[in-house]
């Protein structure tokens, strides 16, 4: 197995933590644009998150 190389701009720091309600802003779905593609992040009736392209 290989490990990911450490990021040079943030050595030894954990990834940022963002609450899902901060992302969703009271809604049930957001669209995330990544590399010119749209991804839908949805909150289900069971309060689970689903990310689809």
What confidence score (pLDDT) does residue 3 get? 66
Position 4 in a domain? no
- Assess whether pLDDT exceeds 80 at residue 1: no
Position 40 in a domain? yes
Position 45 in a domain? yes
Q: Running DSSP on this structure, what letter comes out for residue 1? A: -
Of 17 and 7, more confident: 17
- Assess whether pLDDT exceeds 70 at residue 8: no
Give the Cβ contact number of residue 47 at 10 Å. 7
Residue 33, domain extent: 27-52
Indicate whether this model's pTM tops 0.85. Answer: no
Q: DSSP string covering 6-40, please?
A: PPSSSTT-PPP---HHHHHTTSSEEEEEETTEEEE
Residue 14 phi/psi, 5° resolution?
-70, 160
Could you report the per-residue pLDDT of 19-48, keeping only the tens digit for each? 999 999 999 999 999 999 999 999 999 999
Position 38 in a domain? yes
What confidence score (pLDDT) does residue 2 get? 62
Number of domains in the chain: 1
Q: Distance (Å, rounded) from C-alpha 13 to C-alpha 18?
A: 15
SS3 (DSSP) at 5: coil
């Amino acid at each position: 197995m290989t490990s990911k190389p450490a990021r040079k701009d943030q050595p030894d720091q954990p990834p940022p933590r963002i609450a899902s309600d901060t992302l969703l802003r009271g809604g049930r779905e957001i669209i995330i644009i990544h590399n010119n593609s749209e991804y839908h992040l949805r909150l289900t009736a069971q309060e689970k998150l689903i990310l689809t392209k």
